[in-house]
Homo-oligomer: A and B are copies of this chain.
Amino acid sequence: MAPKSDAESAVTSALVSANVRADAQRNADAVLSAAKEVFAEKGVDAPVRDIAAKAGVGIGTLYRRFPKRSDLIKAVFKQEVDACAATAADFSAQYSSMEALTRWLHRYTDFIAAKRGLSSALRSGDPAYDELPDYFRARFEPVLGELLRQASEVQEIRADIEAYDLLRAIGNLAAATGDGSADHTRRMVGLLVDGLRNPPRKGSNL
Hey, which bits of chain A sit against chain B, CB under 8 A?
43, 116-117, 119-120, 123-125, 133, 172, 176, 178
Chain A interface mostly: helix
A43: chain B residues at CB < 8 Å are 125
A120 in complex: contacting residue of B124, B133, B172, B176, CB < 8 Å: B124
Give the distance in Å from the alpha carbon of A15 to the alpha carbon of B201 in the complex: 61
Q: Which of B117, B123, B125, B172 contacts A125 (CB 8 A)?
A: B117
Whether the Cβ atoms of B123 and A116 lie closer than 8 Å is yes
Stoichiometry, as copies per complex, reads 2
Sample 10 A-B pairs with CB under 8 A, ordered by A number. A43-B125, A116-B123, A117-B125, A119-B123, A120-B120, A120-B123, A120-B124, A123-B178, A133-B178, A172-B176
The residues of B that contact A124 with a CB separation of less than 8 Å are 120
A123 to B124, CA, bound (A): 12
Q: How far is the CB of A85 from chain B (nearest CB, A)?
A: 22
What's the minimum C-beta distance from A43 to chain B, rounded to whole angstroms? 7
Complex contacts, A178 vs chain B, CB 8 Å: 123, 133
A120 to B126, CA, bound (A): 13
CB contacts (< 8 Å) of A119 on chain B: these are 123
